[in-house]
Each structure stands twice: as C-alpha cells, then as structure tokens.
Amino acid sequence: MLEHRHTYQRPAIVVFLDIRAAFDSLDRTVPWDCLLKKGVPEKFINILKALYTSTSGRVRAYNHLSPLFHSSSGVRQGCPISRFLFNFAIDVILETTLMDVSSGGVDLLPGERLLDLEYADDIILLCDNAQAMQSALNQLAISVRRYGMYFAPSKCKVLLQDWQDSNPVLTLNDDQIEVVEKFMYLGSCISAGGGVSD
C-alpha cells in the first residue's frame, strides 16, 4: 500500500505505536466487554472468564522460584487464546476511538480511507495530514489509559513518506515522537522512500 502511494508521490505520515507491556497490562474486564460487543454468546465468554479466575504465577531466576503471586490484569502468557482475546480488545478500542477522527487516514480506493493497521500489539496509524494524526494520537493516548495500557513514546516512531512540508512535530503524552527514515515492522524494513524489504 505504501509502495503504491509512493508511485504516485502521495504523502503519508506513518506512526508506529508501541504499547508498554501490552499483553500484561490490559484490564481483564476489557476482553469480555469487547467480545460481547462483537456478538459472542455470553456462555462462551463465561467459559473464557473461568480460565482467568484466580490466576497466579511464579518467576524462576538463578534456579530459584519466587513466592506465588496473583495476577489480575493482562492475558495469560503462552495461552493459545491470549492473542485472540487481545486482538478483539485492541480492535474494539481502535474502532471506537478512531471513528471520530476527521480527515484521518490515507486514500486506499476511491471513497475508502485507511487509518490504522494492527497485528496484535503492533499498531500503525496512517494520515496524509499532521493535524489529523495528532488528533488520532491524542484520542488514542486517552483511550488506552482507560483500558489499563500506556504507550511507550520512546519506542514509537514516525516515518514521513514523500513528505514535502516541514517535518511535523507529533507528540504522545506530551513526548515528541522521533522521526525516522526506516523502521522494522513485522520483520520487514519500511523506508521513507516507499521501499519494503526483508
């Protein structure tokens, strides 16, 4: 998609977002509410809830086990449904938060705009103007806090593709996001010149 936009010299601001300890910090009530909103029958949600009652863990360090501790947030490490639960939650969070961003996204097809892409906790925001991008960032920062999560601004990056104007200053929680020429995303290097390589 970015390569296609580059062919026609269509500018884009691409922001790569990092949620600090995303899978560990998600409020446990969020997946259940999100599954309900998406129409999953309550009896299935109750089965999933049962897997998350009274969760506890231990940490092994230097051949010693820590005392047992209880966990009340996040999805279970190594559980096959954890990614599924997190994806449902992040999808609903982004959908409800970003639907009011006016002029957000980039043209994909005539009449269709794409504002966000996500794979688990790897989120990309796309805009063709800085004001819409800052609005999306502000709204998302507020929204994820409501769900027990926080962005790690130092790990978030901005990539400006075919950008002719001066570099916009974009912030997340009052921290300026670094502008980069290339970024590794899901094993591929995405560059400001429109290239994508492994």
Q: Walk me through the domains of the chain, giving residue ranges and CATH numbers.
A: 2-25+80-197 (3.30.70.270)
pLDDT on residue 113: 82
pLDDT on residue 12: 85
Amino acid at 121: D
* pLDDT tens digits for range 108-139: 777 778 889 888 788 999 998 999 999 999 99
* pLDDT tens digits for range 10-29: 788 999 999 998 888 888 88
Q: Are 123 and 94 in contact (CB under 8 A)?
A: yes
Q: Is the pLDDT of residue 158 over 70?
A: yes
Q: What is the mean pLDDT of residues 75-104?
A: 86
Q: Is the pLDDT of residue 1 over 70?
A: no
Q: Please, where are the H alpha helices in the chain? A: 2-7, 22-25, 29-37, 42-51, 82-98, 130-146
User: Which residues have CB under 8 Å from 48's CB, separation 6+?
Assistant: 31, 32, 35, 81, 85
Q: Are 106 and 4 in contact (CB under 8 A)?
A: no
Q: How confident is the model at residue 56 (pLDDT cuts 50, 70, 90)?
A: confident
pLDDT on residue 136: 94
Q: 3-class SS at 118?
A: strand
